[in-house]
Structure 1
Amino acid sequence: MWHIWTLDDWEKNIDLERSGHRCGLRLRFDKEVDSEVRRACKEFAVFLRREYFFPIRVVIYVKARERIIAMDGDKCCGIFWCMPDDYTIEPYIRLAAGDYEKLCKKWGKDSALTNILLCMAHELTHYFQWINSIKLTPIGKERQATNYADYVLEDYAETREHP
């Protein structure tokens, strides 16, 4: 079975040697982001870089807000932004982590961190959908992103005791 994060369909659209694209996964944090969230995201990113290739650089901006406001006005945990069918402009992800303390009190530290990492993996699945030109309905894209986020987090959980 194929894994959307390891597909190389993007090679049909992008010639990395000639295009001069930067590749990889980068993190940027608001200074107010909790140090535990920062640590967990960095460690997860190390795992992701080791396991998967990011052919066009994607930056994840970890925000010290409870929610991100999408272009349609919805409040969400994260968003993936790209220019559809334009691989010359680097995409990015905005991830809300400002509710970490609240989630810790409600669910405990491990579950709070897992929730943030699941959101990161969900949005990264949207990156792989975009880069590989996966054609699904909006609901199909969300379902696939949720399933792959769970799958990637399960793999990551096998490498450690706590997120």
Structure 2
Amino acid sequence: MIKLNLKPSTNKFVAKSISEFVRWLKKNYDFPSAVHVNVTGANYIRNGVTGEKATATCYLPCSKYEVAEINISTGDFFEFVKAEGKDSAIYTIVHSICHEIQHYYQWIDDSTLNEEEADHGADEMTYEYIDFRGFLYE
């Protein structure tokens, strides 16, 4: 089960786009253990372990009976829009979510967390979503 939690600080356009993406995820992927995707409009979030600033983090508990958490910040959305356009800005956020979902699947499979594999899987998942959704805003 995947559950989306949108903070009130999240831009409405971004929230709608992420909601559409999560609906697509629910239809196309299995989530055998609960995972919550928490989205904020803040410019960054703090890594729960190191305290460093980040745009995306993932908390994977010891037990698969507990809820995994993906945290995403979207406060830099308009900087991305200015530099790359709306589609690229949305897909950057989607890719961040996909990257953390890849870590979720590594955890589900009892695999070692691997950044390269997560990036590769996130690329594939993002392109799969692009094929479904297309480029709509340019």
TM-score normalised by L of structure 2 = 0.92
1:94 aligned to which of 62, 71, 91: 71
1:79 aligned to which of 57, 62, 73: 57
| Partners of 2:34 and 2:66 within 8 A in 1 | no
Q: 2: CA distance between counterparts of 1:29 and 1:162?
A: 23
Larger Rg: 1
The alpha carbon displacement at 1:42 in A equals: 0.9
The alpha carbon displacement at 1:161 in A equals: 2.2
The aligned amino acid for 1:76 is A
| Partners of 2:43 and 2:73 within 8 A in 1 | yes
The aligned amino acid for 2:132 is T
1:154 aligned to which of 106, 120, 127: 127
| Identical positions, percent | 27
| Partners of 2:46 and 2:53 within 8 A in 1 | yes
Q: 2: CA distance between counterparts of 1:95 and 1:89?
A: 20
Q: 2: CA distance between counterparts of 1:29 and 1:43?
A: 13
Q: 2: CA distance between counterparts of 1:34 and 1:88?
A: 32
Number of matched pairs? 135
1:47 aligned to which of 17, 21, 24: 24
Structure 2 equivalent of residue 108 of structure 1: 85
The alpha carbon displacement at 1:62 in A equals: 0.2
- The answer for unaligned runs of 5 or more in structure 1 is 1-23
Cα RMSD of the aligned pairs, angstroms, is 1.3
The alpha carbon displacement at 1:106 in A equals: 1.7
The alpha carbon displacement at 1:69 in A equals: 1.1
Q: 1: CA distance between counterparts of 2:61 and 2:24?
A: 27
Q: Deviation per CA, 1:83-121: give whole Å up to 9, x if none.
A: 23x122111111011111121112111111110000000
Structure 2 equivalent of residue 29 of structure 1: 6
Q: 2: CA distance between counterparts of 1:89 and 1:159?
A: 32
Q: 2: CA distance between counterparts of 1:129 and 1:74?
A: 23
SS in 2 for 1:27: strand
Q: Are 1:127 and 2:104 matched, yes or no? A: yes
The aligned amino acid for 2:117 is Q
TM-score normalised by L of structure 1 = 0.78
- The answer for unaligned runs of 5 or more in structure 2 is none
The aligned amino acid for 1:77 is T
SS in 1 for 2:132: coil
Q: 2: CA distance between counterparts of 1:99 and 1:29?
A: 16
